[in-house]
Chains A and B, each alone.
Chain A
């Protein structure tokens, strides 16, 4: 520690820290614009000039390291005079159009101008004007307001990973601009709105919607991935969510937010929001009151139980549901005699059910994950599944973490990747077995897995060496989870972690996958690693037709493994009770009762994120129309079914039963055990589909967020295959092909890309591929 004097006070600081860092930590504010704690230091706005005794000139506090015995004056005559001088310069070419600026009221320039600006301007010349830039559907520009702090440029380069913005030209004609004809397409682009200290970059969807001082700010948790980013939701005076901003949480999202979490709020007010209870009679939908609808729902379920037994009922919920909702649904259904409960809608291999030690999760905290020196990600399209977690891995790999990837699609992580292997989904197990075999060879350890036919190659050996040397962390992503031999991947990953003394984890994709397991929303185990049960899993429930289905928070035909399978089962069922915030045409076809529930913004609830942290939130605004929080609906249905123990009067009563979530560590365990696993090289017969879940197709809210759907990410081609396969099929880029999978066929335009293996056809899950079969099932493509 070194000692120096800050405004007459002796202060201790770590060597190498800057004056500004120390001042801010001492609670002393030094005005600044270009400095941002998460970005590199530019020292170009010059607003933070302070007086350093014996220095030739005022020094920029953001870039000047403190030294022993230094005497700093942050508000001496010289310092303030320098700061005021800079403020005058910043304002001379600024339009001062605060009354029509969206940043007004939350603008750093406006705030600091009050303290450092002149009452009247000495500048009487013509002001510079700058042409606005089109940065895409999310970020609106008013470049004349730009003060050239370069924060957005540094963000895109350093955090988003790819420099999409730059400073062009010189002198006061300097302009921040994207590449000519290009927009800012990063999945984290919205953060440049936050880092912009003025109104140059503002939110396009929020444009002219409200003044910041009219809004109420309420804390919540982002529901679109399992990171559980902390957010503040801004509500206007009509109780409408008008924007979402990050709430700082260093352990999770830092001060950032993915575009998905930031702009998804538009979907909350989509025309397809279910706002009234409806029942279908004689093929026609009737709007009814809640009492009628709930009674109807309860009677339907009860009727099926009486006629066919409780096992004829299947209950499927999306893991975007809150812990309270999932808890009540499983409690109600188990009390009713139903164990057919599942949230793993995208999974096809359930052979580990009952053979795991506990709840699967990331395997460590996020902070521990990024502190690893080696991480192997298996089967995850990282940027689309976890935009912000990828950002943290990106920073870590820039700092020296060895990042390896074994995947079915190559994706540029905009970060140094040590080893990248792109394979057919059927080959993933063999590749992971190669890694295991190589780790065994390095460590001279042995394994129960029969690897006699497994021969590592150079790449898998390199991964193994890195994992052994650094006690690495193996992660299984959403793609891995969808594969037919997921259980083998889990077992191999476990073995690798054991052999190299590292860790294993999964990358849950939806907000509450860990919570769903903890509260027992699985067919095989009750809450908190409780007693084992024998229910049907998500796939069995659809393959073995049930008489009744209860759906919570899911459009199963889009969220499930196989759209075809889901629609067939739901359409054939006697009764389908849907609790959903949205309706769609298919749902109106298969459902018999639609109970409009509220999305995360309109209900109190909680999520357990991928590292096992329980994060509670309150409803930030009123329910839309007659929609009600699902926990209230479930409570009443349970009453109507005559079940005991559902006399809750508040969310707190429900949460009281979930107090174990406060410390989840004893339940979290990724270990799984099976004996007699034998790995042989994969046989690739025919083509396999890769049904990718696009970043902006991941849940009902996102699919209805208008602006996100305008981004290039949402317009990625539905059908893609590599050049070699295209040649074999006799097709070229943008030719039309007939795609067939089970009973579904349809024409698509081919996009040829090199990111896929030879026998893989990427056919994304989206509205055009409804009625197609499983995400990783066989597929036919004909020219």
Chain B
């Protein structure tokens, strides 16, 4: 289920219709119009990229880097193979937006990727799909087959002379493969661990060729932008935060799910759309952008708008748009223990600070949770975190440290209570 307001990806989709993902349904919704127009009217890649820049679309994977700008980095006139890669390796706890996109609207991703390939001079693309949503990998393959049969993929697409082939690739569920260079390694058949940068993928990416990697949601927004215009998309949001965005709301709300709303919408309104707090409980904390984003206490969160700048100002980040809402019954030590375990488990083990640090963080938090905390543990956590951040190849170390820092900062009293009394301050229950 996905609920939308002024949406671009889910607009017009009847998610109760089991065939809503099919090509003919997508065509009815105005699908592939943008692609056909670009190819038939021979709109130059420069103009496509300019339109993308106008739209203000910022990467929906978490970093929020402007998509049009990213495309313009590609040496698109350089001879040789180039690739466009879609990152559907959605592994961040709390995030489940991309799988709904693939489930209900895979052709938007395909069309977006073809347009992207056209714009950056790539004749081949890969969609890397998280291993734990295998049935959606199969659906994407089915959608690809439809597109191929309709000559929307392959050679001489819709008689335009433009060739583009697209492949689906499923991973095996490693979180780290969501890092773009680890993802490239994984496609190449290597161990999924991030590459040292520079060189950046735009110069030396998949199989050593220039490669652009975009998030599924970013690519799925492309057809709308090119069909209805960048300004139209931009105007849906607020300045510097153009367009609409999918938010995956989970936790203690009445109606968890995906919500496509304009950027800049107040959090209180989003909460309202999700039916408010479950059972009328009091909200305690919210992680606004996926589990690696710093947690925010309820009172701060209620003042925020759902856009990149507002959340950043509050000391967290919009990230992938995964909003985890926690009510008053949650023990923050227990919650952090679970997050720390995840990052420990998912560290690729390449860089020393992350390999050793994530495990150490988890061991300490686990100890505190189990009543074996020591008075100087919070200081130690802080110090370990400082020794991890900014010292590794990829951002997983930061992702592991941000929750620890923010939990111990905003809910320090709970941790101190736990260490001193060897038990929870609240009567913890997940439900």
Contact = CB atoms under 8 A, between A and B. Distances in A.
B196 A58 contact: no
A89 B357 contact: yes
Interface stretch (A43-51, A455-463, A689-697, A748-756): A43-51
B390 A171 contact: no
Contact of B349 (A49, A57, A172): A172
B196 A148 contact: no
A46 B352 contact: yes
A125 B360 contact: yes
Given A46-B391, A89-B387, A90-B352, A172 B196 contact: no
B393 A43 contact: yes
Contact of A57 (B364, B367, B391): B391
B312 interface: no
Nearest to B174: A170
Contacts of B364: 125
B392 interface: yes
A92 B355 CA distance: 11
Given A85-B353, A90-B352, A166-B191, A171 B391 contact: no
A65 B346 CA distance: 30
B348 interface: yes
Interface residues of A, number: 37
Nearest to B176: A170
B391 A86 contact: yes
A142 interface: no
Contacts of B355: 89, 148, 171-172, 174
B376 to A, nearest CB: 9
A256 B388 CA distance: 35
B390 A58 contact: yes
A44 B360 contact: no
A480 to B, nearest CB: 39
A60 B198 CA distance: 12
A687 B347 CA distance: 60
Interface in A72-128: 82, 85-86, 88-90, 92-93, 122-123, 125-126, 128
Interface in A161-207: 166-167, 169-174
A698 to B, nearest CB: 38
B140 to A, nearest CB: 26
B352 A89 contact: yes
Nearest to B192: A170
B359 interface: yes
Contacts of B216: none
A118 to B, nearest CB: 11
Interface in B305-356: 344-353, 355-356
B291 interface: no
Interface string A34-55: 0000000111111101000000
B348 A170 contact: yes
B11 interface: no
A558 to B, nearest CB: 46
Interface in A228-246: none
Contacts of A171: 344-349, 355, 358-359
Given A57-B390, A125-B363, A44 B356 contact: no
Contacts of A85: 353, 386-388, 391
A257 to B, nearest CB: 29
A44 B180 CA distance: 17
A56 interface: yes
A661 B367 CA distance: 72
A452 B351 CA distance: 65
Interface string B354-382: 01111110011001000000000000100
A63 interface: yes
Interface in A113-154: 122-123, 125-126, 128, 147-148
A169 B349 contact: yes
A86 B353 contact: yes
Majority SS of interface residues in chain B? helix
A86 B174 CA distance: 25
A63 B356 contact: no
B197 to A, nearest CB: 9
A122 B361 CA distance: 12
Contacts of A60: 196
Contacts of B389: 57
Given A41-B196, A44-B351, A125-B363, A172 B345 contact: no
B346 A170 contact: yes
A169 B174 CA distance: 11
Contacts of B391: 46, 49, 57-58, 82, 85-86
Given A63-B196, A92-B360, A167-B191, A86 B352 contact: yes
B166 to A, nearest CB: 30
A619 B141 CA distance: 71
B174 to A, nearest CB: 7
Contacts of A63: 196
Contacts of B386: 85
A44 B182 CA distance: 14
Nearest to A175: B349
Contact of A46 (B174, B351, B360, B363): B351
B349 A173 contact: yes
Interface in B106-165: none
Interface in A7-44: 41-44
B349 A46 contact: no
A167 B196 contact: no
Contacts of B392: 46
Nearest to B364: A125
Contacts of A122: 380, 383
A58 B363 CA distance: 26
Interface string A578-617: 0000000000000000000000000000000000000000
A447 to B, nearest CB: 43
Contacts of A128: 359
Nearest to B366: A125
Contacts of A45: 351-352
A49 B351 CA distance: 12
A167 B391 CA distance: 21
A44 B396 CA distance: 14
A448 B174 CA distance: 68
Q: Counting chain A CB atoms within 10 Å of each CB, which of B198, B348, B349 scores highest?
A: B349
A39 to B, nearest CB: 14
B347 A170 contact: yes
Nearest to A41: B196
B391 to A, nearest CB: 6
A57 B388 CA distance: 11
Contacts of B350: 42, 44, 148, 167, 174
Residue picked from A56, A89, A128, most chain B C-beta under 10 Å? A89
A147 B352 contact: yes
Interface string A432-454: 00000000000000000000000
Nearest to B376: A122
Nearest to A87: B352
Given A122-B380, A171-B344, A148 B349 contact: yes
A60 B352 CA distance: 12
B428 to A, nearest CB: 23
Interface of A: 41-47, 49, 56-58, 60, 63, 65, 82, 85-86, 88-90, 92-93, 122-123, 125-126, 128, 147-148, 166-167, 169-174
Given A56-B390, A58-B391, A63-B196, 19 more contacts: A42-B196, A44-B352, A45-B352, A49-B391, A57-B389, A86-B353, A86-B387, A92-B356, A93-B359, A148-B350, A148-B352, A148-B355, A170-B346, A170-B347, A170-B348, A171-B347, A171-B348, A172-B347, A174-B348
Of all A-B residue pairs in the complex, the 7 with the closest CB atoms, nearest first, are A57-B390, A174-B349, A85-B387, A89-B356, A171-B347, A125-B363, A172-B359
17 contacts: A44-B350, A46-B353, A56-B390, A86-B352, A89-B352, A89-B387, A148-B349, A148-B352, A148-B355, A166-B191, A167-B349, A171-B346, A171-B349, A171-B359, A172-B344, A174-B348, A174-B355
Interface of B: 174, 176, 191, 196, 198, 344-353, 355-360, 363-364, 367, 380, 383, 386-393
